[in-house]
Structure 1
Amino acid sequence: MATTGSRTLQLLSLLQTHRYWPGSELADRLEVSVRTLRRDVDRLRELGYPVDATRGVDGGYQLAAGASLPPLVVDDEEAVALAVGLRTAAQSGIAGIEDASVRALAKVVQVMPPRLRRRVEALRTATVAGELRPGPSVDAEVLTAVAQACRDEERLDFVYVARDGQRTERRVEPHRLVSVGRRWYLVAYDLTRFDWRSFRLDRLAEPRPTGVRFRPRTLPADDAADFVTASLGSIAPTTLQIEAIVHAPLAQVEATIGRWVQAEEIDDGRTRIRMTADSTDWALFGLGAVEAPIEAVSPPELVERMRDWGRRFTDGAAQSSPPSREAP
């Protein structure tokens, strides 16, 4: 049997993993009697951890919200995931979370043993961000409220704004959060539509937990990510296959936009570019970052859009006032 101190830490870790544990199941996991479990729970309460108990045959335990945040217990894998997740959140599109993520990351890394720090650093150096542009920002409080409802299997009410701007009240059984591309999605069973739906979190507002628990339904897909990808495929426009020639050396192109395109050297001063983009505007935005003449090859709408950009910039330059010069 584990020592009292190590068993208490194990109990705390289990309580932090699940919202609710039946007492008999929790005692079996710790390999102790129900009476010993009660003493361990009392010890946690003395340390400042609020633990609620439900009496009866089906009674059990769960951590409750307290007046202050007590220390958390995480294992090695969770610590590495936490550090990597905080580093990613510091650069994410979640509104208002960047500074808090940096502060939390500093605290986590500070107390990590060297072997875990090396793992975090290895993941950081081996990972390259692949986003060409930021996505819509998601309110951190919305993200947290939805994540908790998914974890607790609790029905959720919220206001949802459709693509046409129409606002509707929704009640759902939340299943999973999915990050795809530059956006966050909630996969849930919509109780007002009687079907599975994916909701963009940047269009979701006023999430309100109902306090009503539910038994999870079977998702009609292998996993939540596949469900979101399939639903996006039915509404998203076809991506464009872009080809252009940039009058710049291969090294210059790769240094500027190499992570987002396939670049092939034509000769010392020209590079062929192939890329996939959601729109011609974003393709031209990336190509223009090279700061070199561009020949649009395909598709035809890329050529027309570049001409339109050229006309607008030329007209704008002609109407702009020349910079004033100060008298000597």
Structure 2
Amino acid sequence: MSSRISIARPQSNNYNSDPHGLSNSRSGASSGYRAANPDDPMEKLQAFSKQVEDYVEIYSQPLKPHLPAIGRFLIVVTFLEDALRILTQWGDQLWYLQQHRKFPWGLSHLFLLINVVAMLGGSSMVILKRYTEYAVAGLLSVVIIQGFGYGLIFDLNFFLRNLSVIGGLFMVFSDSMVTRKKLFAGLPSISETDRRKYFLLAGRVLLIFLFLGFILQGNWSIARVFVSIFGLAACVMVAVGFKAKWSASFLVIVLSIFNVFANNWWSVSSKHPQRDFLKYDFFQTLSIVGGLILLVNMGPGGLSVDEKKKTY
């Protein structure tokens, strides 16, 4: 701070009033530091974004130790809700599979049972952070077989939402990744660091598809246009890993507010058919929020603009 304050003092031959080159003057010899120009719009934007990042870092400190657990729980909450729904609507689920999907008797029972066991078991292991690779593989299998089993694989909304859920599962895998011994000596293998950054990249890119589905569907209004523009910009920033923590925090806030007001299933009568759809959307959105929370906690990883900026 003293280098920025003008104080009259005697100068000696060996004295340098600005030994670290922190002076804001653009005249004189180059000190190796680029001086800030307060009138430059880009530097104003950079200063503002840095200030926002600092606020995010400060206000997330009390929650930071708990963010991984919160993120993992939110990611699997849609699977827990789905398992509970199958158990409480067992007869209706069997009727739908047999009458509309033409499942033979017995196979429909086995299909539902496999789904329930995989979702409950996989979700529990993710929350407890045990055998995460197997848990993520099991939950990914559930996403795929449900898409085919219920005939929703070609539904655009279902497809985009489940891509985001898969992105959240990749974030879980990245968060829990541990070093494994080589299975076969002498064969080339990818290091843990490389695997982690590739999964983080895939998770970041897939997470944003839920918001793209939000942009493509629904009635347009002035508020929706503004939210869509800023949300899309934040999605691009998340995907490329530029100011990733800031943009992910913004999406967490936007999606949480949107989820409460748009998917308020608790305000719909239990006999109304729309209730189940709203409930499904609500818990799936929570899963994507969980993935973004893990991104805020871990950062974007090695394959990102933020990480590359550190090396240049």
Shorter-chain TM-score bucket reads under 0.3
Higher helix share: 2
TM-score (norm 1): 0.21
Higher relative contact order (CA 8 A, sep 6+): 2
Structure with the greater alpha carbon radius of gyration? 1
TM-score (norm 2): 0.21
